[in-house]
Amino acid sequence: MNNSLVFLSSFFLGVFFINFFRKLSLKFNILKSDKGIPVVGGLGAVIPFFICYFLFKHLMVGAIVPIQFLWIIIFSLVLFIIEFIDDLKDFSLKTRVIIQIVFIFLVLSKIKGIDIYFLPIWINYILSFLWIMGITNAFNHLDVGDGQCGGISLIISLAFLIVSILIGNSLMSIIFLCICGVMLAFLLFNLPPARIFMGNSGSHFFGFLFAVLSMYGDYASLEKPIVLILPLLVLGFPLIDTLFLIIIRIKKGLMPLKKSDDHIFLSLVSSGCSIKQTLFKICIVTLLWCLSGIFLLLNTNIFFILFLLLALIFTFRLIYKVLPSQ
């Protein structure tokens, strides 16, 4: 009952705030993309996220919150504010990179990073830095196609919700319930034809949460250390999309973080797929990656292998289709 209340509250509040800020953007002609579409979806999603998190946290887990978790919430809010200013001011690429590097160093000084017991501390630290930088920016890269960022975020948050329930982490469950609710609300306005986008503030905010919370969860055991790769599986498509983007940009002689239209989504549309077909294919691939991660945790090897193979095959097909156009 409590779970349903959290989800429904975040959904209906999300619908209200997202629509409110969309209308505000249109009325005052601010915070729009090059095509004139409002990029205030993040603002409309983050506000109800925080309202529901603080409203239901005490109800479901009590007043005591681990200090690590508190830092995650604080840093996510700080990042949202920084990226909202970026939406307003449009920082240069150099400024963005410097801000992110300093920010991630501060984050890792306070919260738990990747902790692979057989690796030296300094390697774990480097991996943690690259993980936060990569996943946070990966979700920003997804905010280029109608329904892509919202659809992928909804599927991944559902997967992590199931994982958090299975490992018995109530705090993570609340956060992912809230994300599920606001993402579903966002999709009502973001599905083709999109009437709103996340913007830097929203895509970086939710990408950062996925990055740090995926490190926060304790999935693996000494008996089955392979479960350490669960976050890699659940976040498989955003990682592959970003890696694909970086490789193509380097091949073209561009900086990896410099904007271009080489995303898998945009490349598929350019190759002849409709926007709706492209979105459907990418969401199916994301779902397959997520299911492989869930079944790995459940120790159901046959389904883990099946969904992993399907994820690899369908991902390869997507990439193969867009390679000839490069």
pLDDT tens readout for residues 85-98: 999 988 888 999 99
Is 19:196 a contact under the CB 8 Å cutoff?
no
CA atoms within 13 A on the CB side of 29: 0
CA 258 from chain center: how many Å?
20
The pLDDT, as a whole number, for residue 216 is 80
Q: Which of 324, 297, 6, 263 is nearest to 137 (CA)?
A: 263
Q: Degrees (nearest 5) of the Cα angle 202, 206, 207?
A: 110
The pLDDT, as a whole number, for residue 222 is 54
Cα–Cα distance, 113 to 107 (Å, whole number): 9
Prior bond of 193 cis (ω within 30°)? yes
CA 251 from chain center: how many Å?
26
**């409709």: which residue's tokens?**
274
**């509250």: which residue's tokens?**
9
Handedness of CA 69, 204, 13, 147 (dihedral sign): negative
Which runs of E-coded beta strand occur in 177-249? Answer: none
Residues of the chain with pLDDT below 70 are 1, 59-63, 217-224, 324-326
Q: Which amino acid is at 14?
A: G
Per the DSSP assignment, residues forming a β-bridge with 32 are 38
Is 217:169 a contact under the CB 8 Å cutoff?
yes
Cα–Cα distance, 73 to 202 (Å, whole number): 14
pLDDT per residue as tens digits for the range 238-253: 999 999 999 888 888 7
Pull the structure tokens for residue 94.
Answer: 């150099």
The pLDDT, as a whole number, for residue 224 is 65
Q: Report long-range pairs for 112-117 (Cβ below 8 Å, ≥24 apart).
A: 112/68, 112/215, 112/216, 113/215, 114/215, 116/228
The pLDDT, as a whole number, for residue 119 is 83
The pLDDT, as a whole number, for residue 326 is 44
What predicted TM-score, i.e. pTM, was given to this entire model? 0.94
Q: Degrees (nearest 5) of the Cα angle 253, 136, 281?
A: 80
Cα–Cα distance, 136 to 138 (Å, whole number): 6
